[in-house]
Amino acid sequence: MKKRSIVLILTIFAVCALGAQTFEWGIKYQGGVSALTGDDDSYLLRFDLDDYGSDYGYLQAESQTISSEYAQGAGLYMMKRLSKKVDSVWIQSEILWQRYAFSYDFEGKIPDTDNALLIVTFQDTLKGSIYHSADYISIPVLFKIRQEMSEGLGGDQFQGAYVYFGPAYSFLLGNSSSSKAGVKDLEQSLQSYVEANPGMSSERYENGADVLVSHKFDIVVGTGFQLKDLFKLGLGSDTFSIDLRGDISIFKLGDAKERKDFRLISGMLSLAYKF
């Protein structure tokens, strides 16, 4: 599926390039914020402990909030004009690397446990976070309506505004997580506790964004404008597009045991250069 998607986008690129008068392409970078939304947008930090194969107890705490983190993407875009009247209609496709990021926040809560010895040992309040990131290759196919500027309108630089919308298919490259502040301290303290007690072991419960499905589908919407000869070099070729874009995944993304019903959402500022 991944190879077919890339081959398809490159084929579209080649075919559109044959009609150079109605074809544009270039590179783009986008940056902004991303977060989770959905019924299962919290995280259960849980450790199950065994002592010589027997259940010893658990430690657990649930996150209170989700924080947005920096998201970004970069890649190629290509677009083919379908019609031109007062405004023009284009179909635009892209192949992008995209990174989404967010944090689960734990705000001063004492971990729950069913073992009195663990209550005494791990009685500090938990204040910290778990940072998650996920990398995708994304292939949006967008319908764009662009304002066509008549002679004398908009000045020499402004080339018109536009809006666009459409679906995007993305496949997962990988995801990772890292613990911060009090969460990291708890993990280290628990590891030291296990190592100090021969025969004891611990297992971390898998949930939330620990495991993601291998692909996702998004709805993408955006609006922006195009500028020409931005640096006034007289070349007329330095054409940039600047837009705001939002996307949200359609289906649930979790593939762990529990808390799987969540989606990624992002808002980004995009800068594109037309060759």
The alpha carbons of the chain give a radius of gyration, in whole angstroms, of 25
Task: Tell me the CA distances in angstroms from 115 to 46, 49, 269, one per residue in order.
Answer: 14, 10, 50
| Mean predicted confidence (pLDDT) in 234-262 | 86
pLDDT at 233 over 80: no
- Are 34 and 209 a contacting pair, CB within 8 Å? no
Q: What percent of the chain has a predicted confidence (pLDDT) above 90? A: 64
DSSP class of residue 224? E
Q: Residue 60 above 70 pLDDT?
A: yes
Number of structural domains the chain divides into: 1
| Range in 9-18, 24-33, 69-78, 194-203 with the lowest mean pLDDT | 9-18
Is 80 exceeded by the pLDDT of residue 236? Answer: no
- C-alpha to C-alpha distance for 226 and 76, rounded to whole angstroms: 17
Structure tokens at 124: 């500090």
Contacts of residue 146, defined as CB under 8 A and 6 or more positions apart, other chains included, come to 87, 88, 89, 90, 160, 161, 162, 226
pLDDT tens for 107-120 read: 888 899 999 888 88
When mean pLDDT is compared over 3-12, 126-135, 234-243, the highest value belongs to 126-135
Question: For residue 18, what pLDDT band results from cuts at 50, 70 and 90?
Answer: very low
> Which residue segment(s) compose the domain that 104 sits in?
2-274
Confidence (pLDDT) at 229: 73
Q: What pLDDT was estimated at residue 91?
A: 93
